């Protein structure tokens, strides 16, 4: 069965940002005038919102202007009765800016930033709520709280974290019901239905779709009615009641077409195609799938394009067109991994597993089936279903409890008033005496228990403090030793003064995995020649640091004491010393690295390289220079190292680096929808070279910043796996 594409009811729901949504030209006209800062703030937010889908990059720039202005107004405004209206306006502007930015980043597939922005906005609205006394304003603020919770729920649902999605959707529904906002309530009912549907609980999803449909019909909201009809059709499709599904789909399609909502028409066409696919009417299914794909491509909706390609891949598999099936299935997986939709990634792996099974490519089929099963288990585990049910039961219980409590409080108030009239004098003395007696007993027992507890805690505290002091002392000794080793290692690394004196320009990105490093960069000037080495010693941490010190010592010995000139002969000498000293027998301790020589006598640059290749960026583009595929140490090959000359011109760039940057694990596969699937994948040299080439026109300091940010974004919360050293040199 093809996956039904559902439409989130948040798609048509526009947030009221405290002014009517004006057209872009009208807003720009207002902004061009000399207006008050609070008016400018509202109009900047409105303009950013209006262009957020058509021009998100410009929307972000305008949004940041609004946010900065709002923060400035807040900082300049004291929270008192005189300035309260201005403070409210400024804080509301900040809260609105964060909602808009969250929406833009979500549409760009940056879910972590979207959640961060929505959470910040929620905190702002909560702060406003604490200081609001006006009922109408409080109602508006609670509406924004509901919207933030709903949008947070939407991000979690897209990530496949259904319990968290339901938690926030039910919060949004509760806030909307408290403020009697029927439209918002209908929206959250529909999205709760969608979340149940994506978990495979079709009966529950249909129940909420019907509630949403009834609410939209009561309001006469045409877009809501059409959307609910489409999602109801999806539920009937899951029940295999295809006749009923087609009726609801056609009703929804007619309504969306009439309103000109292509963003809703496309998934509806795809769902009709899916219904015909399930009915094995592949000709009609293909026709509707292609219509849907074309419309999504026109809209530029990457996620929709990927889903319809997924459906086409399944259809071509079913009809035996395996070549087209593989093309569409692989493309759908690529898009799903870009957008980060766990549900779409799961479907793409299932399609590929089915295709390769039918074409007897069993190894590939098994690989994709494993990935499909892992995602399926994570998205539809029994614990998640229990958690989702718990969220719903909690909401229903709290709702009923609030009604019962309110009714009971009315009854209790009447009874209590009557009893007070009849028994106040009679019971006053008795109650007072009894209270004093009970209080005395409670105070005595509390004092006695507290004294015993204090004695036990005091004894335990002494023991814990003793153990803590011992652990801290040992830990300090070890840490002090390692930091002292760091001082020694840093003293031997190339100094900034030496590099500035001998190079036109440079940057150094040096990040040890632990405190000390097996990677090192080392330099020395001797007989009008400047030598620069970037090397990766065996190991990292303390063992790696010991090796790096030994390797730097041998390099210095070769150049300063033995007067060896050529880089290749220097590496030959260092290898011999390492084999004599540490790399004996089966041991293969040593290093990989690059040694450059800037010869000021004849203005040339030569080098020798073991495993690691220098990179040259010039007018010819990016070139990976040659390197000998053997380490500086004991190995199967023991050939002499090769001397290379580098032909350079003024302004060319040379990059030297170890393998730590390219070998770092991370990327989207390591963080699919908030779940950890292994270690992701390596960054790899090709991607590193792309970063260098794309940013070679930037200043050297800017290049270093870009490399750091790119690495941190890729790594995410994963641990750094190796020492990292990258040096850029401008000729």
- Mind listing the pLDDT tens digit for each residue in 337-346? 888 777 789 8
What pTM value is reported for the model? 0.45
- Per-residue model confidence (pLDDT) at position 3: 53
- Same structural domain for residues 43 and 170? yes
Is-contact 9 190, C-beta < 8 A? yes
- Per-residue model confidence (pLDDT) at position 374: 83
CATH number at residue 512: 3.60.40.10
Is-contact 691 706, C-beta < 8 A? yes
In a domain, 566, yes or no: yes
In a domain, 195, yes or no: no
Buried b (16+ CB within 10 A) or exposed e, 236-250: bbbeeebeebbebbe
- Same structural domain for residues 520 and 532? yes
- Mind listing the pLDDT tens digit for each residue in 196-229? 888 888 888 889 999 999 999 999 999 999 999 9
- Mind listing the pLDDT tens digit for each residue in 402-461? 454 555 556 555 556 656 666 565 565 466 556 666 665 666 676 677 777 677 777 777
Higher pLDDT, 615 or 416: 615
Express as a percent the part of the chain with pLDDT over 70: 82
DSSP 112-165: HHHHHHHHHHHHHHHHHHHT---HHHHHHHHHHHHHHHHHHHHHHHHTT-HHHH
Boundary (domain end) residue, out of 119, 151, 180: 180
Residue 600 confidence (pLDDT) above 50: yes
- Per-residue model confidence (pLDDT) at position 16: 35
- Same structural domain for residues 466 and 541? no
Mean pLDDT of the chain: 84
- Per-residue model confidence (pLDDT) at position 82: 65
Cα 44 off chain centre by:
27
Lowest-pLDDT range, 158-162, 375-379, 408-412, 547-551?
408-412
In a domain, 616, yes or no: yes
pLDDT band, very low/low/confident/very high, at 401 (cuts 50, 70, 90): very low
In a domain, 80, yes or no: yes
Is-contact 547 519, C-beta < 8 A? no
Boundary (domain end) residue, out of 158, 180, 202: 180
Give helix then strand counts, H and E, for the chain: 23, 13
- Same structural domain for residues 582 and 702? yes
- Same structural domain for residues 534 and 568? yes
- Per-residue model confidence (pLDDT) at position 12: 36
- Same structural domain for residues 668 and 694? yes
Which backbone phi and psi does 52 adopt, to 5 degrees? -65, -35
pLDDT band, very low/low/confident/very high, at 138 (cuts 50, 70, 90): confident
Q: CB under 8 Å to 330, separation ≥6 — which residues?
A: 352
- Same structural domain for residues 474 and 598? no
- Same structural domain for residues 527 and 644? yes
- Per-residue model confidence (pLDDT) at position 20: 34
- Same structural domain for residues 594 and 463? no
Apex 520 CA angle, 516 and 525, nearest 5: 135
Which backbone phi and psi does 728 adopt, to 5 degrees? -110, 135
Residue 365 confidence (pLDDT) above 80: yes
Q: Per the structure block, which two tokens stand in for 522?
A: 């080392």
Q: Which helix (H) or strand (E) holds 522?
A: strand 519-526
- Same structural domain for residues 445 and 535? no
Tell me the CB-side half-sphere exposure of residue 72, using CA atoms within 13 A: 10
In a domain, 217, yes or no: no
Alpha-carbon distance of 363 to 693, in angstroms, equals 37
- Mind listing the pLDDT tens digit for each residue in 267-302? 999 899 999 999 999 999 999 999 999 998 888 888
DSSP 317-337: HHTT-HHHHHHHHHHHHHHHH
Closest CA to 307 of 12, 6, 13, 104: 6
Q: CB under 8 Å to 617, separation ≥6 — which residues?
A: 623, 652, 653, 655, 692, 693, 696
- Per-residue model confidence (pLDDT) at position 299: 85
Task: Indicate the SS3 state at residue 557.
Answer: helix
pLDDT band, very low/low/confident/very high, at 675 (cuts 50, 70, 90): very low
- Mind listing the pLDDT tens digit for each residue in 629-649? 999 998 888 899 999 999 999
Higher pLDDT, 207 or 80: 207
In a domain, 93, yes or no: yes
Is-contact 252 226, C-beta < 8 A? yes
Q: Per the structure block, which two tokens stand in for 473?
A: 């002392």
Q: Looking at beta carbons, which pairs linking 117-121 to residues 24 or more positions away fall under 8 Å?
A: 118/148, 118/151, 118/152, 118/155, 119/152, 121/95, 121/96, 121/148
Is-contact 728 507, C-beta < 8 A? yes
Per this entry, what is the length of the chain? 731
Number of structural domains (the chain) is 3
Residue 96 confidence (pLDDT) above 50: yes
Tell me the CB-side half-sphere exposure of residue 270, using CA atoms within 13 A: 28
- Same structural domain for residues 473 and 583? no
What is the average per-residue pLDDT within 669-689? 71
Q: CB under 8 Å to 176, separation ≥6 — which residues?
A: 143, 146, 184, 185, 187, 188
- Mind listing the pLDDT tens digit for each residue in 175-189? 888 888 889 889 999
- Per-residue model confidence (pLDDT) at position 430: 63
Helices (H), 493-620: 496-502, 541-556, 567-581
Range of the domain at 39: 1-180
In a domain, 71, yes or no: yes
Q: Per the structure block, which two tokens stand in for 124?
A: 């702002």
pLDDT band, very low/low/confident/very high, at 390 (cuts 50, 70, 90): very low
- Per-residue model confidence (pLDDT) at position 19: 34
Boundary (domain end) residue, out of 154, 180, 206: 180
In a domain, 44, yes or no: yes
- Same structural domain for residues 558 and 461? no
Residue 81 confidence (pLDDT) above 90: no
CATH number at residue 9: 1.25.40.10
Q: CB under 8 Å to 527, separation ≥6 — which residues?
A: 563, 565
Is-contact 275 246, C-beta < 8 A? yes
What is the average per-residue pLDDT within 520-549? 93
- Per-residue model confidence (pLDDT) at position 677: 47
Is-contact 27 47, C-beta < 8 A? yes
């Amino acid at each position: 069965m093809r996956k039904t594409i559902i439409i989130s009811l948040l798609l048509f729901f526009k947030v009221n940002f405290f002014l009517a949504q004006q057209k872009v030209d009208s807003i720009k006209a207002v902004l061009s005038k000399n207006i008050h800062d609070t008016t400018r703030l509202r109009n900047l937010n409105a303009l950013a919102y209006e262009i957020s889908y058509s021009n998100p990059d410009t929307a972000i720039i305008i949004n940041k202007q609004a946010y900065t202005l709002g923060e400035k107004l807040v900082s300049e405004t004291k929270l008192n009765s005189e300035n309260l209206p201005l403070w409210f306006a400024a804080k509301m502007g900040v809260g609105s800016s964060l909602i808009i930015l969250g929406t833009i980043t979500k549409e760009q597939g940056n879910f972590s930033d979207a959640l961060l922005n929505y959470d910040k906005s929620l905190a702002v609205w909560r702060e406003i709520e604490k200081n609001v006394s006006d009922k109408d304003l409080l109602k508006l603020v609670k509406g924004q709280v509901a919207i933030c919770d709903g949008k947070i729920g939407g991000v979690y649902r897209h990530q496949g974290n259904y319990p968290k999605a339901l938690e926030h959707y039910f919060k949004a529904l509760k806030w909307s019901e408290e403020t009697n906002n029927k439209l918002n309530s209908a929206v959250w009912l529909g999205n709760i239905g969608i979340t149940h549907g994506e978990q495979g609980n079709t009966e529950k999803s249909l129940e909420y779709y019907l509630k949403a449909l009834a609410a939209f019909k009561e309001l006469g909201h045409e877009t809501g009615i059409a959307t609910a009809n489409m999602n109801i059709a999806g539920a009937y499709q899951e029940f295999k009641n295809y006749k009923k599904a087609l009726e609801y789909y056609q009703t929804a399609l007619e309504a969306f077409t009439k309103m000109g909502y292509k963003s809703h028409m496309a998934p509806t066409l795809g769902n009709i195609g899916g219904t015909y696919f399930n009915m094995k009417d592949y000709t009609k299914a293909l026709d509707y799938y292609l219509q849907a794909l074309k419309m999504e491509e026109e809209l530029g909706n990457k996620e929709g394009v990927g889903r319809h390609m997924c459906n086409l891949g399944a259809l071509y598999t079913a009809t035996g067109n395996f070549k087209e099936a593989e093309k569409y299935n692989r493309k759908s997986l690529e898009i799903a991994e870009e957008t980060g939709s766990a549900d779409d990634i799961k479907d793409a792996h299932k399609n590929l597993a089915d295709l390769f099974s039918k074409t007897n490519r069993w190894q590939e089929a098994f690989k994709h089936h494993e990935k499909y099963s892992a995602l399926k288990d994570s998205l539809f585990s029994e614990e998640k279903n229990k958690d989702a049910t718990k969220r719903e039961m909690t909401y229903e219980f709290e709702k009923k409890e609030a009604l019962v409590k309110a009714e009971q409080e009315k009854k209790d108030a009447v009874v209590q008033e009557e009893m007070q009239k009849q028994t106040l004098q009679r019971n006053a003395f008795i109650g007072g005496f009894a209270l004093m007696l009970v209080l005395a007993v409670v105070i005595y027992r509390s004092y006695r228990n507290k004294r015993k507890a204090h004695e036990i805690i005091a004894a335990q505290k002494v023991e814990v403090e003793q153990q803590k002091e011992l652990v801290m002392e040992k830990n300090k000794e070890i840490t002090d030793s390692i930091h002292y080793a760091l001082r020694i290692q840093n003293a031997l690394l190339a100094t900034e003064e030496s590099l500035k004196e001998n190079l036109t320009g440079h940057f150094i990105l040096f990040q040890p995995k632990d405190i000390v490093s097996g990677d090192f960069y080392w330099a020395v000037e001797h007989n009008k020649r400047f030598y620069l080495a970037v090397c990766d010693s065996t190991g990292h941490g303390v063992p790696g640091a010991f090796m790096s010190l030994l390797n730097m010592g041998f390099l210095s010995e070769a150049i300063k004491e033995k007067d060896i000139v050529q880089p290749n002969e220097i590496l030959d000498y260092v290898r011999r010393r390492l084999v004599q000293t540490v790399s004996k027998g089966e041991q293969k301790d040593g290093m990989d690295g690059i040694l450059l020589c800037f010869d000021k006598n004849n203005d040339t640059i030569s080098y020798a390289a073991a495993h690691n290749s220098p990179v040259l960026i010039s007018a010819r583009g990016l070139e990976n220079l040659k390197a000998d595929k053997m380490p500086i140490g004991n190995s199967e090959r023991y050939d002499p190292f090769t001397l290379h000359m580098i032909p350079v011109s003024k302004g060319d760039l040379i990059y030297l680096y170890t393998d730590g940057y390219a070998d770092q694990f991370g990327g989207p596969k390591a963080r699919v929808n908030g779940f950890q699937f292994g270690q992701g994948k390596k960054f790899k040299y090709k991607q590193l070279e792309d970063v260098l080439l794309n940013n070679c026109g930037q200043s050297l300091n800017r290049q270093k910043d870009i490399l750091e940010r790119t690495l941190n974004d890729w790594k995410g919360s994963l641990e750094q796996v190796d020492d990292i050293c990258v040096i850029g040199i401008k000729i």
